[in-house]
Amino acid sequence: EVQLVESGGGLVKPGGSLRLSCAASGFTFSIAWMSWVRQAPGKGLEWVGRIKTKTDGGTTDYAAPVKDRFIISRDDSKTTLFLQMNSLKTEDTAVYYCTTDCSGGSCFGYWGQGTLVTVSS
Amino acid sequence: DIQMTQSPSSLSASVGDRVTITCRASQTISSHLHWYQQKPGKAPKLLIYAASSLQSGVPSRFSGSGSGTDFTLTITSLQPEDFATYYCQQSYSTPPTFGGGTKVEIK
């Protein structure tokens, strides 16, 4: 059974940093493209960014609102995905979901339960 | 970025009703369109991928159609557990983008 378990959310002040983790199990993590998707309170879904497999270069892509502030990384030996969030803004307040990309980075096949990040003074 | 527009934004329906939700892309996306269901306080769940392929384990009352710019999600006989918010998402180009959602409520 595929499991994605996010952790690391919490309350942080504007300008602060936070690191989210996503522990994966039940599938071969090293061959999976992974994404982060967020959802502001009462709002829709927004893709944050993606990391490809090492075989595919391990490259990352980011949504414009987070580019140059957020960094996605992965530790295949620990089957864990990370999201380093820097220079946080109030508009980054959201539930952050870890997801597995379907083949070729198309759909988002499996989702974690999400972790809430609140940016407020 | 490709804009995805869903309609309606909400609808009220009864158990047993046929429900249709529409998603329109701002440019052609071939069949790179996927549908998700989200219940309150829960993560989204993939229902349909590549416009019309049913994800494993999803009931056959759900179906998807369309290509190019116009797509449809149909629920043939609405069940109590189907009351939720539905999102479409395109993967034709990066960044992947979602529609604004359609909330299906009980009439």
Under a CB-based contact definition with an 8 Å cutoff, are residues B11 and B74 in contact?
no
The residues of chain A scoring below 50 in pLDDT are none
Q: Which residues of A91-103 are buried (b: 16+ CB within 10 A; e: fewer)?
A: ebbbbbbbbbbbe
pLDDT at position A104, please? 77
Q: Hey, are the CB atoms on A106 and B36 less than 8 Å from each other?
A: no
Chain B positions touching A112 (Cβ under 8 A) are 43
The CA–CA distances, whole Å, from B3 to B22, B90, B97 equal 14, 9, 7
Å from B23 to nearest chain A CA?
14
Q: Which pLDDT score, from 0 to 100, does residue A16 have? A: 98
Q: What's the distance, Cα to Cα, between the start and end of chain A in Å?
A: 40
Mean pLDDT, 10 residues at a time, chain B of 107 residues: 98 97 98 98 98 97 98 96 97 97 95
User: What is the H or E stretch that residue A95 is in?
Assistant: strand A94-101
Q: What contacts B77, CB < 8 A, 6 or more positions away? A: B16, B17, B18, B61
Contacts 24+ apart (CB under 8 A), B63-67: B64/B33, B64/B35, B66/B23, B66/B31, B66/B33, B67/B30, B67/B31
Q: Which residues contact B60 (CB under 8 A, 6 or more apart)?
A: B54
- Report phi then psi at A41, rounded to 5: -55, 125
Locate the chain A residue with the closest alpha carbon to B6. A44
Shortest Cα distance from B34 to chain A (angstroms)? 6
Residues of B in contact with A113 (CB under 8 A): 42-43
pLDDT of residue A95: 98
- What is the DSSP-derived secondary structure letter of residue B85? E
